[in-house]
Amino acid sequence: MIKAAGAVLILLAGTMIGFLQAARFAKRPRQLRELIHGLQRLETEIGYGYTPLPEAMRRTGAHMAEPAASIFRLTSDRLESPDAPAFEACWEETLAGCWPGTAMRKTELATLRRLGSTLGMSDREDQLKHLRLAQQQMQAEEDGARDDQARYEKLSRSLGILIAALVVILMV
């Protein structure tokens, strides 16, 4: 009886792990897309509106879905606080805080960090160049993420169940 219950638990856990893994594969391209949209909006705000960064970040964040929205929103909050450090520090802090809650990886993080070291620090043309470069890199990541999704999403789901089943069989 206990054995059967254990087997069911293992099966359930395995399935869960598989599904969670699959969900990560599905979420990553979506979040990347969202971030690219955010960067595009930021580009418009900076390039055509000359909007100062705190305001531009706030507006960008207001039109997006989580978790990308909070990256922009929290940075804006930090910038507007009375003892705000330089932009780069605010950005880094936000990224460090938000990143574990996203399905994105280190490569995207590196791209955003590089962007953070230049945002607000140069003239308009230069800003636009950096923003476009970041978008391109994100785009490449998104393409890769979609391939991964197609390849591994179902696989990791079935793999979860199968490994759980294997463990159960070995135990019995």
Q: Which residues contact another protein by CB under 8 A?
A: 46, 50-54, 56, 79, 82-87, 120-124, 126-127
* Minimum CB distance to another protein smaller for 21 or for 118: 118
Q: Which is nearer to another protein, 120 or 144 (CB)?
A: 120
Nearest residue (CB) to another protein, 21 versus 40:
40
| Residue 83: CB minimum distance to another protein, A | 5
Q: Where does residue 4 rank: exposed (0-12), middle (13-18), buried (19+ CB within 10 A)?
A: exposed
Q: Which is nearer to another protein, 21 or 51 (CB)?
A: 51
CB of 86 to another protein, least distance (A): 4
Q: How far apart are CA 91 and CA 124, in angstroms?
A: 19
State the minimum distance, in angstroms, from the CB of residue 127 to another protein.
5
- Closest separation in Å from C-beta 46 to another protein: 6
d(CA 132, CA 5) in angstroms, rounded, equals: 55
Can you spell out the DSSP letters for 108-134? HHHHHHHHHTTTTSS-HHHHHHHHHHH
On whether the CB atoms of residues 92 and 3 are closer than 8 A, the answer is no
First-to-last CA distance in the chain? 12
CA separation (Å) from 158 to 38, 119, 167? Answer: 34, 43, 14
Per the listing, tokens 């135990």 go with: 171
Least distance to another protein, CB of residue 148, Å? 36
Nearer to another protein, 122 or 158 (CB): 122
